[in-house]
Structure 1
């Protein structure tokens, strides 16, 4: 009986306890200020990406990404 207890019940109890401890914690709600800040940061990154894609890269040959990839496509029109 002692062996049954140590081989099945104790590991089973430890496993059940670990499942309870691994439960995700509830997240905080976003405020309007959080959403506004996120939107501003997102748009600043979009604006920087647009600038780089349309000629903002410092290159020696002065070719921008959009000259070979129109409409941000990953294809080459000449092929």
Structure 2
């Protein structure tokens, strides 16, 4: 359970860092922190935390990339 909370905290913090202007895409940050949480859960031999970390990471990756795609498609074309 601790690993799940740790993973969610890292994913949330990484998304906030991206919102503050970090150059890495938020989706990759979320995926990387989920992988970190999954590795930590393997080290601690906690299978439930492993699957939860991977699931949350994939879910966030999907939604962040979907939101970014909508933002890009809604942006007006450059008229230069």
TM-score, normalisation: structure 1: 0.35
Higher relative contact order (CA 8 A, sep 6+): 2
Larger radius of gyration: 1
So what's the TM-score if we normalise by structure 2?
0.35
Which structure: greater helix fraction?
2
